[in-house]
Amino acid sequence: MSNESTIGDIVAFSRSDDAAGVKTAIGNVLQQKVMVSLESKKKDFAKTFLTKPNTDSKEPESSEVEDGSRDTSTT
């Protein structure tokens, strides 16, 4: 990862009139926030990946009629 920047760095660059430094620091802070968010999403996904959801539905899983015939009115 690039240099870790903080809000204090942005303020310091602003006070010293370093526009390029401000731009870089803002980009770094935003990149850090995105990376933290993505890591969190990856962890959440990994927890639920390949686990069967607990559904207690009394309805049949498909819309086909039990005797094997199909509703031909929609085709």
> For the segment 8-55, what is each residue's pLDDT rounded down to a tens digit?
999 999 999 999 999 999 999 999 999 999 999 999 998 888 777 666
Task: Kindly state whether residue 72 falls inside one of the protein's structural domains.
Answer: no
Total count of domains within the chain: 1
Task: Kindly state whether residue 67 falls inside one of the protein's structural domains.
Answer: no
Read off the pLDDT band of 75 (50, 70, 90).
Answer: low
- Reduced to 3 states, what is the DSSP secondary structure of residue 65? coil
Task: Kindly state whether residue 65 falls inside one of the protein's structural domains.
Answer: no
Mean pLDDT of 60-73: 59
Task: Kindly state whether residue 56 falls inside one of the protein's structural domains.
Answer: no
Q: Compute the distance between CA of residue 33 and CA of residue 41 in angstroms, rounded to an integer.
A: 12
Q: Which structural domain, as residue segments, surrounds residue 13?
A: 1-49
Task: Kindly state whether residue 60 falls inside one of the protein's structural domains.
Answer: no
Task: Kindly state whether residue 73 falls inside one of the protein's structural domains.
Answer: no
